[in-house]
Amino acid sequence: SLCAAAAPNQDLSYQELKDLKKANVLHIDVRERWEIDRFGKIPESINIPLGELMEALQMDPTEFKEQYNQTMPSKSDPVVFSCLAGTRSKQALGFAMSLGFS
């Protein structure tokens, strides 16, 4: 299940995610690494497990790039969070918004 800050109470369909990715939306998968190994990686997403997300979103941009091989999003950049069932993606959205991400 996917959760977008633009619509915090609305889940996204797979097709909506594909359309957003064409617009260079950063897709953060907050599943655990073992889940990625077991169920597969979503193409063009970066994996930041939910337990690491708060720290990751507060990193120095250089450190974020080294750790995740991705440019750190600014607080106004569009970001989509995903997980297996939707609960963690909604928590991730709450964390990001509490840090000032819009």
Predicted pLDDT at 5: 46
Instruction: Kindly report, residue by residue over 43-58, the tens digit of the pLDDT.
Output: 889 999 999 999 999 9
The ranges assigned to domains in the chain are 2-99
Q: Domain 2-99 belongs to what topology?
A: Oxidized Rhodanese; domain 1 (3.40.250)
Active site residues per annotation: 83
**What is the reported pTM?**
0.82
Predicted pLDDT at 20: 67
Judge whether residue 6 has pLDDT over 50: no
DSSP letter string over 9-62?
EEEEPHHHHHHHHHTT-EEEE-S-HHHHHHH-PPTT-EE--HHHHHHHTTS-HH
Q: How confident is the model at residue 11 (pLDDT cuts 50, 70, 90)?
A: low
